[in-house]
Amino acid sequence: MRWVGPTVVVAALLVPLIPAGGYQQYVVQVATFVLINAAAALAWDIQARTGQLSLAPAAFFGLGAYAYTMAALRGVPLPVAFLLGPLVAGAVSLGLGVVTLRLHGLYFAIATLAFAEVVKVIFKELPLDLTGGAVGLTAPPLLGGHQTGLYYLGLCVLLLVVAASLAIRHSRLHYAFTAIRQGELTARVLGVPVVRTKLLAFALSAALTGMVGAYATSRLFFVIPEDTFGIGLSVTALATAIFGGVYTTAGPVLGAIILRSLEEGLRLVLREGYLAVYGVILMLVILYLPGGLVSLWNRRSRDAAGGD
């Protein structure tokens, strides 16, 4: 199954070149948003591997988006402004992590949810000439707004998140994350520095989400607190990862590809009531495939190997 990853990358590289006739630019647009969803979902999954349910992706996405926009509007070169996205989100997450990562389960989830709301309100209330208040700001496009160029930049963003995920998977961190998820007490006994490891996962996830936010904003050309820090982003990241398969690299990416294509396809075919069908499919997968779509793949691999 080692061929799957490279095949998906090659396919992604070829998307703007597919001879889809009149549909080509539309396909590239949809694919760009698939990349954004996949990167946000995988970034969320990285911290989820320590067993924490964070509802703060919207906050880090927004921080990255605002850092990029505010810096770019003040004359900072766009590539530097773009890099500020992950830096600001990562730095803020360290502060949040220090005070919240000793919380568990629902308490942690509520704390992160509240944080996302607080950040949104702060950006609304800051002076108008700084953040644009509740109305927001328009953001300058990267690469002059060139559609294909931005698609490939989005692919680079996703590949960076994938690389981070794979690096963790093939390092001792994977075992540390898994041990913490399965029981913090046991992890401590095994010598895992629990809080420090959770903080690392949280900050890495936040920085990557901030990068996605900066990228998405350079593609959508605006920041508005209500949308940019919207809870919908956190829910989409979480649902996409669960649908595809949590604690894996392939799951959130597969989830984003299928969910977004499914939604777009259903909308084009059904027109009316497509979200109901979409919701039912989402529900069925979560009910009958608790390990997400990748569990089907894993099951087939086990069957093929004749193992249990």
Partner 1 sequence: MAGTEGMAQREQVRIGISLPLTGPASASGKAAEAGYRLALDEINKAGGVLGRRLQIFIEDDGNLPAKAVPIFTKFVTVDRVHAITGIFGSAVGVSIVGPAKLHEPLIAMLGAASPLVERGFEGYKYLFHYHPWAYHNMEAVFSFMEFVRTGTGASTIAMLYEDGPFGSAGIGDTRAELIKRGFDVPFMESFKSGSGDFTALLSRAKRHPVDVLFWIGFDADALPIAVQSREVGFKPRLIFGTPASWPVGYEGNPVARDVAGMAGWTSASPLPASKEFVKKYQAKYGGLTEEYMAPMGFVTLTTLAAAMNKAGTTDRDRVAAELARTDADTPLGKLRFKPSRLSPSVYQGFDSDLWMVFQFREGRRVPVWPKSMAAGPLAWRWR
If one asks whether residue 255 binds partner 1 (CB under 8 A), the answer comes out as: no
Closest CA to 32 of 163, 137, 155, 119: 155
Closest approach, Cβ 22 to partner 1, in A, equals 5
Name the residue nearer to partner 1 (CB basis): 195 or 231.
Answer: 231
Q: Which of residues 191-220 bind partner 1 (CB under 8 A)?
A: 219-220
Closest CA to 147 of 46, 31, 276, 5: 31
Across 266-299, b (16+ Cβ under 10 Å) vs e yields beeeeeeebeeebeebbeebeeebebbbbbebee
Question: Which of 7, 25, 186, 301 touches partner 1 (CB under 8 A)?
Answer: 25
Point out which span in 27-35, 203-211, 237-245, 250-258 binds partner 1 (CB under 8 A): 27-35
Name the residue nearer to partner 1 (CB basis): 33 or 152.
Answer: 33
Question: Which of 5, 103, 124, 188 touches partner 1 (CB under 8 A)?
Answer: 124
Q: Which of residues 137-166 bind partner 1 (CB under 8 A)?
A: 137-138, 141, 145, 147
Question: Which of 180, 224, 242, 294 touches partner 1 (CB under 8 A)?
Answer: 224
If one asks whether residue 18 binds partner 1 (CB under 8 A), the answer comes out as: no
How many whole angstroms separate alpha carbon 115 and alpha carbon 45? 19
Name the residue nearer to partner 1 (CB basis): 4 or 283.
Answer: 283
Closest approach, Cβ 119 to partner 1, in A, equals 13
Name the residue nearer to partner 1 (CB basis): 172 or 271.
Answer: 271
Name the residue nearer to partner 1 (CB basis): 166 or 270.
Answer: 270
Name the residue nearer to partner 1 (CB basis): 19 or 22.
Answer: 22
- Chain CA centroid to CA 159, Å: 12
Q: Which of residues 64-123 bind partner 1 (CB under 8 A)?
A: 121
If one asks whether residue 130 binds partner 1 (CB under 8 A), the answer comes out as: no
Q: Which residues bind partner 1 (CB under 8 A)?
A: 22-26, 29-30, 33, 36, 121, 124, 132-138, 141, 145, 147, 219-222, 224-227, 264, 267, 271, 274-275
